[in-house]
Structures are given as structure tokens and as C-alpha cells.
């Protein structure tokens, strides 16, 4: 029987007492499980210290999962602990891309009895990690607009933020290189750069719809759709996952992505950072393991 540490993010939108109780019932049926509730992300390391022989299972969203994987990386435990995920956040984008059930009870059953799957990781030049996606440009402005709307609109907040940001953002001069190939030269304005390990952002918006999180490559999308009509068209097609067919959108795959430009604001797994002058992300193939459907 597996030994699990169920980590409950008390601030997660779907982490009500009844939901958590149902999840814990299923986990206890399938595994030897200990529950910890964290109000402070800083308490995560202590919980891992107190239960060194248990695999952590996140009851939360993309941000909680990001924090757990980053903590395991700092502790040099990515290779020794398999992660489970029960998506209770507002976006749950990595779960969507991996085929993890969005129903909490079904996800709990999968987390307790499923098989580990090796997954890639993106690491930036300051040691920060990305498990799902990182993006720059209009998507960051959308996230900034969406943040205060989340308590009311939940997963629809990003869609509203995207409409507002798309109407007022005119792009910025960015240089983008993928494995040494210049995709954007810094002279032409760029609306958005997306780097995907997973497929979607913002609760299901398919930014890099063909990404595979265990193929050793990052999917990169660069949009030059800066005109008013182009921005509108890009926003509509982005929601449908058809934006990569547009002539003003370039898609490539690679293992190392470098982006530079004036005052880069970055959204990495939903966490906003910046401004920076430049950032480089490198793929670490099969750097961690998560229990997820093998056919996803």
C-alpha cells in the first residue's frame, strides 16, 4: 500500500470541508494517508520533513503544485518522491493537459492507485522552475487584470482579463531565440510569447495545444498579431486553439528558449514576476514524476 501525504491548500477555491472529506475517504481506502492543512506555503518544507517516507499529493491548484515541485527541487527530492494532484484550483491547467480527472473523487482515486509518469521541467537561469507554462506579453496583462476578478468569476476571470488586455495592448519589441534560432529579432513588436510544457493556461486556454509534457521539448508560440483586427482575431482563435494557423503566429519546438526586451513581466505557472531584462528557460527531460493517466 502506498504511503501518501495529502497536502490541503486551505485557500484553494474548491477546498471546502465536504469536498476534502470526500477526497480523504477515497485516499484512505486506497493508501496509507496522512493529511496536513497548510495556510502558509512556508510550512510545506516542515510537513515534508515530518513525513520523509510519504509521497505528497496536492489538494489545490496550479500554484500549489508549482510550490510543491519547486520545494522538492530545492530539497533535491524530485527523483525520490512521486507527486499526486487533486485539482481544486481555478485553472487546473496542468491537470487538464495530463488528463487528470477534474472531479475531485475521481482524481483522488487516480492519485492513490495510478502509476507514476515521468514529466519534463522548465528551469530558468536563476533556478526557478515551470511545470506547466510561462508566457510574456498580452497574457501577462490578462492575468494582471484577471487576478482581482478570480473570487467572483473564478475560471472565467482569465477570459475577461484577456478581452480587456487584448483591446489595449499593442505589443513590445522582444528578441526570442530557440536553440540559437532567432524567431523574433527585437525590431518587430510582439504581442505574446508562450512557452509550454503543458497545453493550456488560464483555465483551459490552449496556448500550446500540441505540447507534450514528457517529450523533452518546449513548445514555443510567438504572436506578431499587433494590429487592432489582428489582436481581436488572435484572441478569438486562441480560445479555440486555432491561433497557431495564423500567418502572424510562429511556432517552434526546442530545449532552450531565450527572451529579452525592455521590462519583461512574466507569468510562470500563474505566478507573476518582473520586470527583467532577459530570461532563459531550459528543458530538463523527465525531471520529476506525477501520477497521471498514461494515455494522456
170 contacts 234 by C-beta, under 8 angstroms: no
What Rg do the C-alpha atoms of the chain give, in angstroms?
19
pLDDT digits 0-9 by tens, 221-252: 999 999 988 988 998 899 899 999 999 999 99
Could you list the mean pLDDT of each consecutive 10-residue stretch along the chain, which spans 296 residues? 89 73 95 90 89 95 92 96 93 91 94 93 96 91 69 66 66 96 96 96 92 96 93 89 96 98 91 93 98 68
Q: Output the nine-digit C-alpha cell for 208.
A: 500550446
Write out the H or E segment, with its range, that includes residue 191: none
Q: With beta carbons less than 8 A apart as the criterion, state whether 45 and 71 touch.
A: yes
Strand-pairing partners, residue 196, are 133, 219
Instruction: Please state the pTM of the whole predicted model.
Output: 0.88
Amino acid at each position: 500500500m502506498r504511503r501518501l501525504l495529502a497536502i490541503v491548500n486551505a485557500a484553494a477555491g474548491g477546498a471546502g470541508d465536504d469536498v476534502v472529506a470526500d477526497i480523504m475517504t477515497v485516499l484512505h481506502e486506497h493508501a496509507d494517508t496522512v493529511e496536513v492543512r497548510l495556510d502558509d506555503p512556508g510550512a510545506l518544507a516542515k510537513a515534508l520533513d515530518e513525513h520523509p517516507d510519504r509521497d505528497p499529493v496536492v489538494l489545490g491548484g496550479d500554484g500549489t503544485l508549482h510550490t510543491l515541485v519547486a520545494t522538492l527541487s530545492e530539497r533535491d527530492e524530485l527523483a525520490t518522491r512521486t507527486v499526486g494532484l487533486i485539482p481544486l484550483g481555478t485553472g487546473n491547467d496542468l491537470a487538464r493537459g495530463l488528463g487528470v480527472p477534474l472531479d475531485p473523487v475521481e482524481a483522488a482515486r487516480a492519485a492513490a492507485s495510478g502509476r507514476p509518469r515521468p514529466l519534463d521541467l522548465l528551469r530558468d537561469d536563476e533556478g526557478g522552475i515551470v511545470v506547466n507554462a510561462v508566457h510574456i506579453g498580452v497574457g501577462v496583462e490578462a492575468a494582471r487584470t484577471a487576478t482581482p476578478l478570480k473570487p467572483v468569476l473564478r475560471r472565467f476571470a482569465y477570459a475577461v482579463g484577456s478581452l480587456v488586455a487584448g483591446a489595449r495592448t499593442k505589443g513590445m519589441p522582444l528578441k526570442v531565440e530557440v536553440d540559437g534560432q532567432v524567431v523574433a529579432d527585437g525590431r518587430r513588436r510582439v504581442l505574446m510569447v508562450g512557452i509550454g510544457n503543458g497545453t493550456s493556461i488560464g483555465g483551459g486556454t490552449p496556448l500550446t495545444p500540441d505540447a507534450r509534457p514528457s517529450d523533452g521539448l518546449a513548445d514555443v508560440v510567438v504572436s506578431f498579431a499587433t494590429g487592432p483586427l489582428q489582436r481581436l482575431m488572435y484572441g478569438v482563435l486562441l480560445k479555440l486553439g486555432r491561433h497557431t494557423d495564423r500567418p502572424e503566429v510562429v511556432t517552434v519546438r526546442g530545449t532552450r528558449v531565450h527572451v529579452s526586451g525592455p521590462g519583461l513581466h512574466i507569468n510562470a505557472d500563474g505566478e507573476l514576476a518582473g520586470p527583467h531584462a532577459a530570461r532563459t528557460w531550459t528543458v530538463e527531460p523527465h525531471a520529476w514524476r506525477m501520477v497521471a493517466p498514461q494515455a494522456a
